Amino acid sequence: MSDGIVDKISDVDLVKIKDQISAIKDLQIEQHSDEFEKIHNQLKRALTNLDGV
């Protein structure tokens, strides 16, 4: 990634998101949907920050 892209997504911690994805397997199945929704929203925010790049 170029520095410009990293600057635009700096408010989104991609490492944390990856950790959250990995941790889903440890949750009760009933919690998966809520966790996926949270992760999805974080990824949408990261992509929105890239708009126009």
Please report, for the chain, the start and end positions of each structural domain, with discontinuous segments joined by +: 3-50
Q: How confident is the model at residue 3 (pLDDT cuts 50, 70, 90)?
A: low
Instruction: Point out the least confidently predicted range of 3-7, 26-30, 46-50.
Output: 3-7
**Predicted confidence (pLDDT) per residue in 6-38, tens digit:** 545 556 788 999 999 999 999 999 999 999 999
- As a whole number of angstroms, the distance between CA 46 and CA 28 comes to 27
Residues ≥6 apart with Cβ < 8 Å to 25: none
The two structure tokens encoding residue 28: 């009760």
The pLDDT, as a whole number, for residue 38 is: 95
The pLDDT, as a whole number, for residue 1 is: 47
The pLDDT, as a whole number, for residue 50 is: 76
Residue-wise burial string across 1-27, b where 16 or more C-beta atoms lie within 10 A, e elsewhere? eeeeeeebbeebeeeeeeeeeeeeeee
